[in-house]
């Protein structure tokens, strides 16, 4: 739900035409023990996007072999739509860590970074962290209500057979239950 609230708030506050959900293919920095795989993550994104015309889904990272790096995804998106202005949406924690990503200067030249400001990471701190990587106009901030639901929490509850309704969209809860993802069948409806 946090990702969807972030997408909604960025769409509204930043005046975006659409928000593209990009499920990762092969992660570059971590692995999840209970990862259902890229096609299943893609399907869950498609279920959500089907009911919200502000959202679309891209399989760009799933179709590209090897680890997924944001810079490669942005390059490919730019090649496919050279006239579009790209906005990379991230939370404050990810924005603060952007300097450690692969080719951060290139990321910032390909896209404006839209940052969901949170209490832990305020714009001044993020600006200091990004320092000499870019001009201030390459980073825009938007507010987002605090959502204390993480994908780790959802996976853990599903694995224990606990209800996940209201923690994820109904269509995703039903899909997780029907496919018995993450271990035991989750209780979709509560």
Contact assessment for residue 126 and residue 96, using Cβ atoms and an 8 Å cutoff: yes
Q: How would CATH label the architecture of 2-147?
A: 3-Layer(aba) Sandwich (3.40)
Give the whole-angstrom CA distance, residue 36 versus residue 52.
Answer: 24
- Domain(s) labelled CATH 3.40.50.620 in the chain stretch across 2-147
Residue 168 binned pLDDT confidence (cut-offs 50, 70, 90): very high
Rounded mean pLDDT of 82-106? 93
State how far the alpha carbon of 123 is from the alpha carbons of 58, 81, 109, in Å.
29, 30, 20
pLDDT at 190 over 60: no
Give the whole-angstrom CA distance, residue 160 versus residue 35.
Answer: 16
Rounded mean pLDDT of 147-162? 88
Cα 114 from chain centre: 12
Three-state DSSP class for residue 81: coil
């Amino acid at each position: 739900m946090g990702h969807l609230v972030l997408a909604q708030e960025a769409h509204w506050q930043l005046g975006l035409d659409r928000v593209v959900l990009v499920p990762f293919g092969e992660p570059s920095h971590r692995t999840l023990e209970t990862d259902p795989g890229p096609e299943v993550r893609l399907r869950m994104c498609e279920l959500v996007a089907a009911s919200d015309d502000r959202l679309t889904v891209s399989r760009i990272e799933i179709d590209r072999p090897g680890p997924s790096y944001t810079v490669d995804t942005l390059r490919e998106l730019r090649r496919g739509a050279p006239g579009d202005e790209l906005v990379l949406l991230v939370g404050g924690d990810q924005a603060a860590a952007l300097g450690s990503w692969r080719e951060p200067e290139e990321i910032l030249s390909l896209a404006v970074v839209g940052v969901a400001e949170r209490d832990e990471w305020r714009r001044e701190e993020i600006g200091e962290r990004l320092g000499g990587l870019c001009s201030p106009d390459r980073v825009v901030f938007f507010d987002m209500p605090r959502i204390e639901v993480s994908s780790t929490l959802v996976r853990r509850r599903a694995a224990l057979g606990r209800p996940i309704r209201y923690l994820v969209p109904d269509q995703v809860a039903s899909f997780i239950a029907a496919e018995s993802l993450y271990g035991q069948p989750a209780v979709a409806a509560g």
